[in-house]
């Protein structure tokens, strides 16, 4: 009997420790997260999704989209890219300096090498290693700058610009991280595919928009009806076998409209302290809500804001 009680106590303590480590500790840690400033911006990130997009999250959830699509970009590492922004007045000296820094460009013609600026001329491990080449270019009258460039298979596929972090999901409940990738990752699909009509056509006939797609059609989100006095501006523009019969049109139901609004709101591209990247010069940093943006030239502290996180 005593050994049985001891075994029970040990098992209980093991389960309690596991629950505390895997459930309680992350909940305590993440529940304290609040909106912050994106690097290069004074505006808060993330913002709450607009009303239609918030409704669309429920349609996304109800139709099991999370079973085939993830919303988490994996990043393997970051590198630092040296960009030549101005060649200066002595093109020959600038070309010679570049050749010394990057032997792969040594045989390039100076005119070709210095055309189309800004241009990436060298990759180094980190920002500290970027100082010597930038100073070498400045010494011959040229101007250069360094930018952080995230690297990884997901980024190479064009699925995102940087890794996703906990901060990106503060505006969503429940968070639709996903566990499988039968389809492409959608963490940044709103920036990657901003066309509303494309998304609607893709929902109606996926294989017609993406060759080889195995996504099932979601035609129950659309209505086929007779054309009234005027054709609906929202009617899908379909041809061939997909085109409706003469006098009829195919229009999205409200569920399709809000689902597309949600997909277009998926933008995890703001540079954060936890996931840095340097946007190209003059780039506008977009928040996760369409139509809301901040100027990249604004100074940011990236310190947690005093306001509570958006729900």
Measure CA 241 to chain center. Answer: 35
Give me the mean pLDDT over the 173-198 stretch. 92
- Please tell me the predicted confidence (pLDDT) of residue 32: 61
How many angstroms separate the most distant Cα atoms in the chain?
90
Query: What distances in angstroms separate CA 198 from CA 60, 138, 192, 222, one per listed residue?
Result: 17, 46, 12, 14
Residues 28-42 have pLDDT tens digits of 655 566 667 666 667
Query: What distances in angstroms separate CA 264 from CA 194, 206, 222, 302, one per listed residue?
Result: 6, 17, 19, 25
In sequence order, the β-bridge partners of residue 120 are 83
* pLDDT classification of 295: cutoffs 50, 70, 90: very low
Instruction: Say if residue 131's pLDDT is above 50.
Output: yes
Q: Which of 1-5, 110-114, 174-178, 223-227 has the lowest mean pLDDT?
A: 1-5
* CA distance linking residue 274 with residue 46, whole number of Å: 14
Residues 84-127 have pLDDT tens digits of 988 888 888 888 888 888 888 877 877 888 888 888 888 888 88
Domains of the chain: 36-75+156-295 (1.10.760.10), 78-151 (3.30.1390.10)
- Please tell me the predicted confidence (pLDDT) of residue 271: 85
């Amino acid at each position: 009997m005593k050994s049985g009680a001891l075994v029970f106590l040990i098992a209980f303590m093991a389960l309690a420790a596991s629950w505390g480590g895997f459930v309680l500790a992350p909940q305590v840690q993440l529940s304290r997260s609040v909106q912050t400033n994106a690097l290069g911006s004074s505006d808060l990130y993330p913002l709450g999704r607009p009303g239609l997009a918030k409704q669309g999250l429920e349609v996304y959830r109800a139709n099991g989209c999370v079973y085939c699509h993830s919303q988490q970009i994996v990043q393997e590492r970051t590198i630092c890219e040296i960009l030549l922004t101005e060649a200066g007045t002595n093109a020959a000296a600038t070309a010679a300096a570049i050749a010394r820094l990057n032997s792969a460009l040594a045989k390039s013609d100076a005119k070709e090498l210095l055309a189309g600026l800004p241009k990436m001329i060298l990759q180094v491990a980190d920002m500290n290693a970027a100082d010597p080449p930038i100073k070498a270019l400045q010494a011959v009258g040229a101007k250069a700058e360094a930018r952080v460039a995230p690297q990884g298979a997901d980024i190479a596929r064009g699925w995102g610009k940087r890794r996703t972090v906990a901060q990106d999901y503060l505006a969503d409940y429940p968070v639709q991280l996903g566990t499988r990738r039968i389809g492409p990752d959608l963490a940044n699909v709103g920036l990657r595919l901003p066309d509303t009509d494309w998304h609607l056509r893709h929902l109606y006939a996926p294989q017609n928009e993406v060759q080889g797609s195995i996504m099932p059609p979601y035609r129950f989100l659309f209505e086929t009806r007779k054309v009234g006095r005027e054709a609906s501006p929202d009617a899908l523009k379909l041809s061939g076998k997909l085109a409706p019969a003469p006098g009829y049109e195919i229009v999205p139901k409200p569920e399709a409209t809000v689902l597309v609004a949600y997909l277009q709101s998926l933008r995890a591209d703001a540079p954060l302290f936890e996931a840095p990247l340097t946007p190209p010069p003059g780039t506008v940093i977009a928040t996760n809500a369409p139509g809301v943006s901040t100027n990249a030239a604004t100074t940011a502290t990236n310190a947690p804001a005093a306001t509570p996180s958006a729900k």
